[in-house]
Structure 1
Amino acid sequence: MRSAILAALLAGAATGALAQGAPPAETKAKVDDLEKLQAFKSTNTAPAAEVPQTGRRADAIRKTLAKIKLPEGFKIDLYAVVPDARSIAVGPNAGVLFVGTRKSKVFTVTDRDKDRVADEVRPFAPGIEFKIPNGVCFSKDGVLTVVEQNRVLSFPAAEFFYEAPDVAAALVVKQGDLIPASEESFNHTARVCRVGPDGKTYIALGQPYNVPAPEKLDLYAKHGIGGIVRMDADGKNREVFATGIRNSVGIDFAPDKTLWFTDNQVDGMGDDKPPGELNRATKAGENFGFPWYGGGQVRTVEYKDQTPPAGVVAPVAELPPHAADLGLTFYNGKQFPKSYRGGIFIAEHGSWNRSEPVGARIMFAPAGADGKVGQPAPFAEGWLTGDGEYLGRLVDVAVLLDGSLLVSDDTAGAIYRISYEGDAK
């Protein structure tokens, strides 16, 4: 169904794109390139240069990895040097990685000889001018979705077109229509996405404030800012799925088809409050408490005298305050021991204004079929030194096709691979 919708979308894309109005002169060339790709026409864009995978940077990263602590039987290696690496999407066919950034590029990572080390890293679709293309996700039939700050694009059969500068592309949400242009901000703009069991695309939209003013709440609720929206593959039938979320940069679906997500808590309330959140959405329309709650059951100063909405959903687990929990994934592989299967791995980016830094590690929480989770605990750590220096800041986690765990680091500019070499019983 998703493929059929996108095929129809691509067939009429050129006409639709041209009907959307003339872009500003300074961006017209790039917009024209996108229109050409929608119509399967060449942009005459030169191939993008490869990112070097050897040299001082790679050597320095491996030196850092030698300091990382893992449970017995696990090891961590450098999988790829990828500048500004953020969200990871693993191709369902060949395991090609697509890596989003908060800059202007999406990267492809290819391991051709399957030795579990990347052979080639280069920018994807270099003819397209991306703007904060942090969110990347795949459908089961191989359609890649890229969510920018205020636009959504899709790329059918991305794993098979990615090697050429010109790729099949579709405009899902045009520039300026994901959120109102008036609400664009430099803050909390890293979108993330997942294609759900229902075939719809789910997108988390962070709101730009630490705590928004009351006059913003109706507008944000209407558009899903500070929430999660969902839509069909072609962008139609958009609806707000969840509200009351400050800034989620990590969402994933559990085996029972419920949507789980991390949420970053309110700043400026002290080192030890409020806690970070791991949440579970079981149906559309749920409210998760922000801005009345700053994290967990801690009320915000700004809304402490106001009555929260009825039926606010509490987090299923609280996370260390200000550790900046971002990407998460349910472990669906078979390489790791059974105690990890079905559990949740979470990437902590690390605190930015805490008097004593915390985070920059991978957390793990066992999860049951009943939706309950055990206490999250460190799984991989060592990127934060005892002197408070960050040797890396982790962003996302994803399961490679062989069952190993991939981890992105936007400070080091790398993708790591954690594998298990013991008895996986």
Structure 2
Amino acid sequence: MKRIPTILMVFIAIALLTIAWSQSAQNLFLPLISRLPVIPPADEVANRLQVAEGYAVRLYVSGLNRPRLMAIGPDGALYVAERGTNRIVRLVDGHSDGYADTPQPVAINLTGVHSLEWYAGDLYAAGNATVWRLRDVNGDRQWSTDEIVALVMDLPSDGGHSTRTARIGPDGMLYVSVGSKCNITVNCSEGDPRRAAILRYTLDGDIPADNPFADDPDPRRRAVWAEGLRNSVDFIFLPDGRLWATHNGSDGLGNDLPPEEVVIEVERGKHYGWPYCYTAELGPVPRNTQEVRDTRIPLDTTFTGCEQATPALFTDVAHSAPLGIDRLANGDVLIAYHGSWNADETPRDCRVQRIRVTDGQPVSAEPFLTGFRNNPQQECGGAWGRPAGVTIAPDGSIFVSDDKNGNIYRIVPVGS
């Protein structure tokens, strides 16, 4: 048997290594390149809105009726709560060109639908007075009446602050935010302890035995997880299980008070001050800060002083109206500021704000997406656009809903 010359063996080895490296490189890099989000040519939105360095913004879809909060489905599509039509629509980029195809209505007649949350293959939606579970039994990506179950019904919905947001916690429980009936209780009677609170239910709509007020004589209070939250329009759960909520403070104290409590860490059984007290610090709130009294509101037998209140983690200028919130991969959060409609002096901008997070705590804030107003003196109630929801997709795309002009914007990372 002839032996293969050494030099030939070297050439064979090099060839095999080259082929293996080439295949490995393709396996490692080509799928990553193909998953990069597509950026369409600059459009009217790109020319109008200013986004942070390292990102590009484009119109994703237009013509919706008051789109609010959104969620990415297990199929990769963007699902939107279209509050103005009481329906849920599904958005897909079927042509892979960076634009959504024609919106597909997938569920209708959901009164005041505001928030969406996927969990274990089911879609949970919250409206004015109801939390629904939508289960796609036949797999057609449409939900007929018999596939929609009302889990929580008869939530208080009279008066102001009618939006409801439902999220599933890491404990597998259903959390629901319910805003106050009015600005401050001196102006109207609240009555229902489920208002100005975050509630907690099982996924069947029952009261968990470990709720802080599960044995309260008032059966309505048994659902309360935390209270003193005038209007926490949205909230998220962090990877370590903490719950961070946005919060809209009271009006009537001037242009600068109270500061907007844009990040509150919500914990079991705690009271967050409203309507008796508020966090007066601006920016990151130091430890051991005590809230200050809103002297318009007399104390009562259940709340006797601001030492009972838990302050926010981070605040911003009054009348910013923080709504939707989501978390970037690096731990920072993006919050949609709906902006002011009745500021006494300087109107507050409607924009998406980035809250920088270091060591698990919010430390600073900076604009992320701006340009919705025609000039700095314009109230956001009359602006061209007004951001409401923020949702971040697995590929890094950031979707922002605009309930003023019916747009959804898609923000895409650019560069290396």
TM-score, normalized by length of structure 2? 0.76
Which residue does 1:209 correspond to in 2? 182
Which residue does 2:357 correspond to in 1? 367
Determine helix, strand or coil for the equivalent of 2:308. Answer: coil
CA distance in 2, matches of 1:70, 1:159: 41
Which residue does 2:162 correspond to in 1? 189
Structure 1, 411-420 or 296-305: larger mean CA deviation: 296-305
Q: 1:320 to 1:169 in 2, by over 3 A?
A: same
Residue in structure 2 matching 1:162, options 141, 161, 172: 141
1:117-146 deviation per Cα after TM superposition (whole angstroms, max 9, x unaligned): 2113033323xx22211122121x221111
Which residue does 1:220 correspond to in 2? 192
Q: 1:284 to 1:110 in 2, by over 3 A?
A: same
Q: Indicate if the aligned counterparts of 1:343 and 1:366 stay in contact, CA closer than 8 A.
A: yes
Q: Give the 5 Å matches for 1:138-287.
A: 138-139=118-119, 141-157=120-136, 160-163=139-142, 168-174=147-153, 176=154, 178-179=155-156, 184-213=157-186, 216=189, 219-221=191-193, 224-237=194-207, 239-281=223-265, 283-287=267-271
Shift of 1:405: 0.8
CA distance in 1, matches of 2:102, 2:323: 26
Which residue does 2:385 correspond to in 1? 392
The answer to whether structure 1 residue 349 and structure 2 residue 346 are counterparts is no
Shift of 1:278: 2.6
- Which amino acid counterpart does residue 249 of structure 1 have in structure 2? V
Determine helix, strand or coil for the equivalent of 1:328. Answer: strand
The answer to whether structure 1 residue 308 and structure 2 residue 305 are counterparts is yes
The percent of aligned pairs where both chains have the same amino acid is: 27
Shift of 1:103: 4.8
Structure 1, 69-78 or 114-123: larger mean CA deviation: 114-123
Shift of 1:108: 2.1
Q: Give the 5 Å matches for 1:291-306.
A: 291-294=275-278, 296=280, 297-303=291-297
Q: Indicate if the aligned counterparts of 1:64 and 1:391 stay in contact, CA closer than 8 A.
A: no
CA distance in 2, matches of 1:186, 1:79: 34
Residue in structure 2 matching 1:413, options 391, 394, 406: 406
Q: 1:302 to 1:135 in 2, by over 3 A?
A: same
Which residue does 2:65 correspond to in 1? 83
Q: Indicate if the aligned counterparts of 2:277 and 2:309 stay in contact, CA closer than 8 A.
A: no
CA distance in 2, matches of 1:158, 1:350: 41
Which residue does 1:131 correspond to in 2? 111
Determine helix, strand or coil for the equivalent of 1:132. Answer: coil
CA distance in 1, matches of 2:354, 2:135: 33
CA distance in 2, matches of 1:299, 1:86: 33
CA distance in 2, matches of 1:160, 1:117: 25
1:368-394 deviation per Cα after TM superposition (whole angstroms, max 9, x unaligned): 34x411122211111122251511001
Q: Indicate if the aligned counterparts of 2:129 and 2:164 stay in contact, CA closer than 8 A.
A: no
Determine helix, strand or coil for the equivalent of 2:44. Answer: helix
Say how many residue pairs are matched.
343
RMSD: 2.6
- Which amino acid counterpart does residue 111 of structure 2 have in structure 1? K
Shift of 1:416: 0.6
CA distance in 2, matches of 1:164, 1:234: 19
Q: 1:281 to 1:73 in 2, by over 3 A?
A: closer
Q: 1:310 to 1:228 in 2, by over 3 A?
A: same
Q: 1:167 to 1:216 in 2, by over 3 A?
A: same
- Which amino acid counterpart does residue 123 of structure 2 have in structure 1? L
CA distance in 2, matches of 1:188, 1:159: 36
Determine helix, strand or coil for the equivalent of 2:83. Answer: coil
Shift of 1:316: 0.4
Determine helix, strand or coil for the equivalent of 1:263. Answer: coil
Shift of 1:395: 0.4
Q: Indicate if the aligned counterparts of 2:231 and 2:248 stay in contact, CA closer than 8 A.
A: yes
Shift of 1:197: 0.7
TM-score, normalized by length of structure 1? 0.74
Shift of 1:283: 3.0
* Ranges in structure 2 where 5+ consecutive residues have no aligned partner: 1-41, 209-222, 281-290
Residue in structure 2 matching 1:326, options 318, 323, 338: 323
Q: 1:159 to 1:352 in 2, by over 3 A?
A: farther
Q: Indicate if the aligned counterparts of 1:253 and 1:330 stay in contact, CA closer than 8 A.
A: no
Which residue does 1:70 correspond to in 2? 51
The answer to whether structure 1 residue 92 and structure 2 residue 74 are counterparts is yes
Q: 1:358 to 1:283 in 2, by over 3 A?
A: closer
CA distance in 2, matches of 1:281, 1:103: 33
- Which amino acid counterpart does residue 243 of structure 1 have in structure 2? E
Shift of 1:309: 5.6
Shift of 1:66: 1.4
Shift of 1:90: 1.4
